[in-house]
Amino acid sequence: MRAKRATADYEAIDELLTRLGGVSPERVLLVPTPGTATPRDVLRLYEKHKRLFELVDGTLVEKGMGLGESTVAADLIQLLKNYSDAHGRVGIVTGEAGTVKLLKKLVRIPDVSFIRRDRLPGGKVPSEPIPDLAPDLCVEVLSKKNTRLEMERKLKEYFLAGVLLVWFVDPKRRTVRVFTSPDEVTELTAADTLGGGTVLPGFAVPVKRLFADLEDAPKPKRRKR
């Protein structure tokens, strides 16, 4: 008896892309068939090709990242690690490959995350490469490939899974949006200080510090009359 062939639960590629938040087709893998991919596929593609894919509704969606975004993420990792060490190693900090399973058929890879040590089994990092674990803080450093709808969906998923604090760091606009829920947000500019709230009490860094190593964005040219 032949095994039943997996079929997609959408009728057109446009419908699939819309469900994923209007992402570019080049970021979506059609093999395995959308809707049928698993966390094992996430691991397989990273081990074989060193490419990072998130698992969204059983569909593999490649992470969007660039050198500038990676630089900002690395700076935040250092700052959060310093904070943890200064407060008695109260948590762990993960980077751009820190995969976590948030919900069924949903694996996300925050650019940076912080997890309090008292939430970890025995205070240690789980041995599973993709643990069922919602960070306390998730940071997304926005890139050109990210869409507004994609990030809105990701934001809702983070809080649904139990994340307490989300930062959307925007290198282009030099801003940080701080979310304590999907509907409660504060936007910080270069003149402000980013704090950790109740999740990271005592954490503080000037927003402009996060973008200090980035080249200034080119000013738009004036149109000739």
Q: How far apart are CA 20 and CA 14, in angstroms?
A: 10
3-state secondary structure of 31: coil
The answer to whether domain 67-210 has CATH 3.90.1570.10 is: yes
Q: How far apart are CA 7 and CA 34, in angstroms?
A: 8
H/E stretch holding 160: helix 148-161
Q: How far apart are CA 176 and CA 178, in angstroms?
A: 6
* Cβ–Cβ under 8 Å, residues 32 and 40: no
- The predicted-structure confidence for 89-142, as pLDDT tens digits, reads as follows 999 999 989 999 999 899 999 999 999 999 999 999 999 999 999 999 999 999
pTM above 0.85, yes or no: yes
In this structure, of 9-18, 29-38, 85-94, the range with the lowest mean pLDDT score is 9-18
Q: How far apart are CA 148 and CA 10, in angstroms?
A: 22
First-to-last alpha carbon distance for the chain, in angstroms, is: 73
Whether pLDDT at 216 is above 90? no
In this structure, of 124-128, 149-153, 219-223, the range with the lowest mean pLDDT score is 219-223
Q: How far apart are CA 15 and CA 3, in angstroms?
A: 27
Indicate the pLDDT class of residue 65, thresholds 50, 70 and 90: confident
* Cβ–Cβ under 8 Å, residues 92 and 120: yes
Q: How far apart are CA 6 and CA 219, in angstroms?
A: 50
Domain boundaries, the chain: 13-62, 67-210
Q: How far apart are CA 157 and CA 143, in angstroms?
A: 19
* Cβ–Cβ under 8 Å, residues 165 and 179: yes
Whether pLDDT at 223 is above 90? no
CA distances from 27 to 24, 34, 145, 152 (A): 6, 12, 9, 18
